Structure 1
Amino acid sequence: MLKTKRKVVFISLFASSLVFANNTTKLDEITVSETGGNYLSGNNAYYKTRTQSATKTDTPIRETAQSVQVITKEIFDDLNIAKINDALDYVSGISRQNNFGGAWDNFSIRGFSGHENTGMSMLKNGFADNRGFNASRDSANIQSMEVLKGTSGSLYGNSEPGGTINIVTKQPNFENQHSIKADVGSYDFYRVALDTTAPINDSFAYRLNVAAEKKGSFRNYVDSQRYIVAPSLLWAINDDTFVSYIGEFIEQKAPMDRGISLINGQNIMNPKTFLGNPNSDDMNIKDQTHQLKFEHYFNDSWVSRSGIAYKDNSFKGSYANNVGKIDNINNPVFLQSRYSDYNSKDIQFQSDIKGEFDIGSAKNTILFGAETYRFTKNSLLNRKANAIRVDNIDSHPTYTILNTNLDPHTNRYEKEKGISVFVQDELAYKDFRFTSGFRYDEVKMDNLNRRNNSSTEQNDYALSPRIGITYLINDMWSVYATSGTSFRPNAGTNKDGETFESEKGVSIETGLKFESEDKRFGSTLAIYQIEKKNVLTKDPTDDQFSIAAGKVKSKGVELDLNGKITDNIKLNVNYSYTNAKVIKDNTYEGKELLNVPKNSASLLLMWEDSLSQDSSYGIGAGATYMGKKAGNYMNDFYLPSYTTAKLVSYYKVNKNLDFRLNIDNLFDKEYIASSYDSYWLTPGNPRTATLSMTYKF
């Protein structure tokens, strides 16, 4: 009986966070039976009481000195989301950034977006997931997403000070659960997904998620295909030892679509116009991820966890794009042709040990850990300017190939190695919760330019501390304050051949949290200020080179409310005020950060009711608002504010069959979602409808 109960508790926590709590975990938030399965209670609808990644110790969100928001599986289901970008619209402080022609995910949190070619800090089950070129993350294998606001350098090292996202994948279950889901929607959207999990025997369980997608677009020549296979296994060796494997294979085929351009710096061209080569092959992105984790309980107070992860990414294909301003709509546009071949490999190892013990009348939780990784990347880029001519760009574009011979531009090999150790201590004394920790990182980067056989070496060192305090006012309210640092290495050299200092960020935050007595609803109000220095800026003595002398600052207020208000009403609402700008720079001082609106908000409201014992329905509405935001680094133009609305609904026929109908951009609003400059603007999607059917067997 003990083995069965320990296994069930382990599996239920594993399904929600991948890293597990010991026997002292508060089980009033989990419904446990002896048959296995997903035992999270109804409080995981739109609100979660716990998250593993914020502290790596399963500390309740209300007691954590940090703003933490969780996008639950039910939010994914109600929004009927295939990719993560639409889900992140429903978290405060997040704005969309240049997405590299629709190929990958790129967002900013509290104004900070990370490297322009790899994006913001992202984790998958606690492992770094943003090194190299990654295809857009697919919801087929996502259980939830945890958004950690502010600095997380003390636990995760190299990251942005605005925040970090941890993707929690779906996990094996010791209960038979199988479903198939089919979607059909506007602009030739077709998708089918299989989710199956079951025990193999008393000790082994498996899960397999498979999805295939074919998608058209309101834009000319922009069709895509997407395939995902995600197997996972769980082995309960005995009462105290567990091993898990999580795999994911993604292939994405789509043309490189840089979007549209401004005409004469102010007029938006026809949003359907494709400024590329219609005859180019699709860009092909292939990602494979393997994670192996081991966990052992020494006793009720001490547990060790170790894991290894391997990623292999490739990004390959031919394309063309506009690289200059367009002054007159009647003039032809000359495009640059390109061929890119990027591939990378990333292997990581991490291990930690957690212990709990009493110090007098206080409870202490200590965490020690270490990480190491090796990342390599090959980059090949050939290009030719004025290779394609496009006429009649705003009505019936015609494309003329002028030159097919490309010139070598980039042929580079990069290697990055990192090693780190960290420690964290959490002390619970009466109604106070104290958190402190730090992490030490060493990063070595080698860069070989194969074109001229030159190479550079760079070594970076960083110490990232964090402190925090939470006061539990009563059983529902708490107040917290926290401060921490972050770092991110700057690659390259200055005009003297010297490497740059790392970017370093400092964050100060305070906030108020609420959690209802039934733990079905919660909210966070946060106020913060972040500064980051050593940002690369042009050398005032030679603008062909850079120096690490820039500084940016972000300050703001965020409010998030989510959960189940009554038995019939679910609510997710947020608002953020973000004032992010450059405060020191030789070129951009005083400029607002790219694609970051000062005001943004979203709302998702659902009404649910039962029709019979096995039948129910839900209907709701959503809205997102984005204020005006800078369209390029120079703030030469701004993207107008916009509001979009959506309708969401489902009808559960019985326990095995349900239908969903969602209408996005209900009022067919024309808007620009993000930009890089006046020649790369991403137009938002028009009104679309999606009908889905899910059958469980």
Structure 2
Amino acid sequence: MYKATTFILILLISVLTSSVSSQTRGAGIQGKITTADGAPAAYVNVGIKGLKSTVSGEDGSFSLRNIPFGNHIVKVSYLGLAGDEKAVTLKEGEILELDFKLQESSQKLSEVVVTASRNNQQVLTAGKAGLNPMDVPQSSSVISSQVITDQQASKLSDVMKNVNGVALGTSRGSTSENFFARGYSLGSNNYFKNGSRYNSGSLPEVSTLEQVEVLKGSAAMLYGNVSGGAIVNLVTKRPKFEYGGEISMRGGSYNSYKPTGDVYGPISKNLAFRLIGTFENNESYRNEVKSDKYYINPSLLYKAGKNTDVLLQGDYLQYDLTPDFGIGSLDGKIPTSISRSSFFNTAWAFNKANQTNISATVDHKFNDIWKLNVVGSYQLFNRNYYSTERIQADAVGDWNRALTRSRTAEDYYSAQANLTGSLYTGKIKHSVLIGTDADSYLNTSHTFNFATAYDRINILNPNKYTARQDMPFAKDSLVTEAPTYRLGYYAQDLISLSEKLKVMAGLRWSYQKALVADVHNLIKGTSGKSATAAKSDQAFSPKFGIVYQPVKTMAIFGSYSNNFTVNSGIDVFDQALSPSIIDQFEAGVKNDFLNGKLTANFTLYKIINNNLAQQAQFLKDGITLNANTNIKELTGQTTSDGFEFDLTGTVLPGLNAMGGYSYNYMRYTKTSGRKGSYIEGERLVSNPAHTANASLFYTFNTPGLRGLKAGFSGYYIGERNAGWNNTVGQTQTVSRLIPMNGFTTYDLTLGYAHRRLSVLAKLSNLTNELNYYVHENYSVNPIPPRQFLTTLSYKF
């Protein structure tokens, strides 16, 4: 508690000191912009000629700080329409109140803003080439900071619920979140922060993000070894050259509280800063489960010249939580009679994770056409874990608790360079991307000596046995250091054959090598090499697409791409397995309706993995049965096909809406049919056939209700299977699948904003729905019950 209090005090003192400092260095101007009919004018540009500018908030308020005293011209403008300007004289230290009334009505202003912004068809930084989304033959989603704030997102899952076609899963012991897109698990290779690979083993801080980008389907041409489902890019907030910030306090059910501070501004004419920090304490509806999170995100932006920006970003996350396997399984089934709050782990179990990210980005414009982007990053991730494991009780509820002790670290260096520009061959325009990236990855794992057997308890009758309370000593005995290197070169060309017809072609060559691991015996004091041989893989990843735009507001596209997945293990001849090559076909249509007020996208896809790696049935003699899970063979095929439909828009002034529906069929389509192989036609576990999401937020502009905001969100995940997929000739006489019912949750939000102060309250899971997120069959975690959350914020 002392550590948390100290952190909060330092954060608040830093924010308040910066705020006071910004006001004493010079004068300031603040006020409100309204339309001709008295409604707040949001997102209007406000600037002082030759000095600085800002944008009005949702309530029409604006603020400019650290202005030299004297005579100035303040100008407001909005998307090319007639603006307004006023001459002012500022005294040293003065904060001048200045309001503007625009000549346009709120309806007219909203139409102009929506038409210019094109709503959901946003450029993804993860796309690297800066192309208009209408020109890209691939579907994508962007969740903005406004949506993250309105929904009071605490976890990445709160954000990803807004992404059509993405389903939430979980990990062993709920130590991290996992997601499935188009039938594929988004493993550790599919997460990025500001374009650099990011470890997904922790629960990232999302409430302070600028946006979350999801590029669906294969992104292997741009990023190399990634799964076929999607990639997720977390974009942090950048420094600004005007003073401002926000402090907030969030609190809610189960003693949850979270203070946050965000302050930004110029240090000099060419240097700006931003500092964001937060602490989060959460108890839980689960008995004895709790978590603490510390997060700080400093950044600097340096204008090295007219055409060059240097951005330094860093963040540090410390996340301590109780490993939680939920209610577990009972004779291979979910024991729904057990209370949602029941806890069967030990009170001392812990999962301590900390993560440091540092990146430097250089953006240089050679001219208005050619640009260079260079990014270098470093990541350090540590996890320290000790807990009981795998709640798998027998038919009467008895469970022999076993222990697992682990400690891992990941050092990750990465660099990339991207050159973008355009050129012409005759009348044909080429929008070109040429790039390279390289990674250096070191995984350090510790092995412990300890007795894995702990005790026996009964999950149906806690009084049947006396549970142990002590934490056994585990001696650190072995350290293994496993390095991996990646290298890639890629090129992409968007060829505009005409205004209506465009072709995209791209190719990447990827190389990955895992070296022999170093092994250090801490007990004997010796070092050596592991028995596992070095392994290298390389592959070409092509991409080809066609875009036809019959009108400027519609794009019809089709594309082919592939990616590769590195396979672990060896074959029966002791040789490393080749990568699995995965083919993807995608077709769809993107639309803007009502002058950009509404976007509607529809996508069809088929993804085929022709080289599924499975445990080999026999050894190389073809007779002896193989019991070694590390000996595998490339056999079988999986196919994932489906469609996605989404709508996003602001059809009425103040009304923001998004929603979507998706269908996916991920199954085994070709297998050997031999003992141990998977069964053709069986749907893969953890993949729901149907998902849907919807969200509506309305900000009132009418007199008497101005500043009031109301929101409603819903999320549906359909029937799916937990457990494991069945195999031919398995020893079990019953199916290993655990059928799971679908469920829907609803959230209700109400808020009010007045000038710089706002309050937002949310009631989640209104109907108190009960269902479960299941990892295999032993980590069965009930979804959160009905909860209350509120956030009080002040902007300065």
TM-score (ref. length: structure 2): 0.79
Partner letter of residue 606 of structure 1? F
Partner of 1:312: 380
- The reply on whether 1:279 has 2:337 as its aligned counterpart is no
Corresponding residue number in structure 2 for 1:57: 129
1:456 aligned counterpart, secondary structure: coil
CA 1:137–1:521 in 2, change beyond 3 Å: closer, same or farther?
A: farther
Deviation at 1:90, TM superposition (A): 1.7
Output aligned runs, 1:151-190, within 5 Å: 151-190=218-257
The yes-or-no answer on 1:358 pairing with 2:449 is: no
Query: Which residues in structure 2 correspond to 1:214-253 (within 5 Å)?
Result: 214-253=281-320
- What amino acid does structure 1 have at the position aligned with 2:396? N
- 1:297 and 2:396 are equivalent in the alignment: no
Distance 1:490 1:9 in 2: 52
Residue 159 (structure 2) aligns with:
87
User: In 1, are the aligned partners of 2:169 and 2:774 still within 8 Å (CA)?
Assistant: yes
Q: Matched residues in 2 for 1:461 and 1:247: separation?
A: 32
Distance 1:574 1:630, change over 3 A: same
The normalised TM-score by structure 1 is 0.89
- Higher alpha-carbon deviation: 289-298 or 382-391: 382-391
Aligned match of 1:22:
none
- The answer to whether the 8 A contact 1:45-1:564 is kept is no
- 1:125 equivalent to 2:194? Answer yes
Structure 2 CA distance for partners of 1:432 and 1:392, relative to 1, 3 Å: closer
Matches of 1:207 and 1:55 in 2, distance apart?
25
1:664 counterpart residue number: 764
Q: Deviations over 1:344-376 (max 9, x none)?
A: 100001112112123333321111111111000
Q: Aligned equivalents of 1:336 and 1:370: distance in 2?
A: 46
* Letter matched to residue 383 of structure 2: F
Secondary structure at 1:455 match in 2: coil
Instruction: Give the structure 1 partner of residue 404 of structure 2.
Output: 338
Aligned mate of 1:418, from 471, 479, 486: 486
List per-residue Cα deviations over 1:499-541 (Å, max 9, x = no partner). Answer: 1111221110100111135434312100000012333211111
Distance 1:395 1:689, change over 3 A: farther
| Distance change >3 Å, CA 454–CA 487, structure 1 → 2 | same
Q: Distance in 1 between matches of 2:125 and 2:670?
A: 33
1:665-697 Cα distance to aligned partner (Å, 9 max, x none)? 00111111x212222112100000101111111
Alpha-carbon shift at residue 587 of structure 1 (Å): 3.0
| Distance across 1 between alignment mates of 2:719 and 2:214 | 24
CA distance in 2, matches of 1:84, 1:161: 20
Q: Which position in structure 1 is the counterpart of 2:677?
A: 587
The partner residue of 2:141 within 66, 69, 88 is: 69
Q: Deviations over 1:433-462 (max 9, x none)?
A: 211101101110024273784232001001
Structure whose alpha-carbon radius of gyration is higher = 2
CA contact (8 A) 2:52 2:242 kept: no
Per-residue deviation, residues 447-500 of structure 1 (Å, max 9, x unmatched): 427378423200100100101111112132221111101112123323432111
Letter in 1 for 2:769: K
Q: Which moved more, 1:286-295 or 1:46-55?
A: 46-55
Structure 2 residue matching 1:201: 3-state secondary structure: coil
SS of match in other structure, 1:279: coil
Query: How far does residue 621 in structure 1 lie from its aligned partner after superposition?
Result: 1.3
Change (3 A) 1:515 1:460: same
Within-5 A mapping of 1:549-628: 549-585=635-671, 586-590=676-680, 591-610=682-701, 615-628=706-719
Q: 1:139 to 1:289 in 2, by over 3 A?
A: same
Gaps of 5+ in 1: 13-26, 35-39
1:66–1:453 CA distance, 2 compared to 1 (3 A): closer
State the AA in 2 paired with 1:424.
Answer: Q
Give the CA deviation at 1:582.
2.3
Match of 1:511 in 2: 588
Deviates more, 1:472-481 or 1:94-103: 94-103
Percent identity of equivalent pairs? 21
1:46–1:571 Cα contact (<8 Å) kept: no
Q: Distance in 2 between matches of 1:335 and 1:225?
A: 26
| 1:696 aligned residue | 795
- Structure 1 residues 337 and 625, CA, compared in 2 at 3 Å: closer, same or farther? same
- Residue 589 of structure 1 aligns with an amino acid whose one-letter code is I
The CA distance in 1 between the partners of 2:559 and 2:240, in whole Å, is 37
Query: Aligned residue for 2:524?
Result: none
Partner-residue secondary structure (3-state), 2:495: strand
Asked if the contact 2:120/2:648 (under 8 Å) is kept, the reply is no
Contact 1:628 / 1:639 at 8 angstroms: preserved in 2?
yes
Residues 1:145 and 2:245 are matched in the alignment: no
Q: 1:560, 1:489 → 2: CA distance?
A: 32
Separation in 2 of the partners of 1:494 and 1:73?
48
- Give the AA of the match of 2:185: S
1:254 is aligned to 321
Superposed, 1:445-594 pairs within 5 Å as: 445-448=514-517, 450=519, 453-541=530-618, 542-544=626-628, 545-585=631-671, 586-590=676-680, 591-594=682-685
User: CA–CA distance in 1 between the matches of 2:471 and 2:700?
Assistant: 63
Write the distance in 2 (CA, Å) between the matches of 1:31 and 1:457. Answer: 67
- From 614, 636, 651, the counterpart of 2:737: 636
Whether 2:509 is the aligned partner of 1:440: answer yes
**Contact kept in structure 2, 1:47 and 1:72, CA below 8 Å:** no
Cα distance in 2 for partners of 1:8, 1:353 equals: 30
Report what 2:731 is aligned to. none
Contact 1:262 1:325 in 2 (8 A): yes
For 1:448, give the aligned amino acid.
Answer: A
Contact 1:475–1:517 at 8 Å: present in 2 too?
A: no
CA distance in 1, matches of 2:54, 2:578: 44
* Alpha-carbon distance in 1 for matches of 2:296, 2:116: 26
SS in 2 for 1:206: strand
Superposed CA deviations along residues 633-665 of structure 1, whole A, max 9, x for unmatched, are 22521121111111012111x220000010110
**Gaps (5+ residues) in structure 2?**
1-47, 57-77, 86-111, 522-528, 619-625, 726-735
- Distance in 2 (CA, whole Å) between partners of 1:198 and 1:473 is 45
Q: Give distance in 2, aligned partners of 1:358 and 1:665.
A: 55
2:170 is paired with a residue whose SS is: coil
CA RMSD of aligned residues (A): 3.0
State the partner residue of 1:372. 438
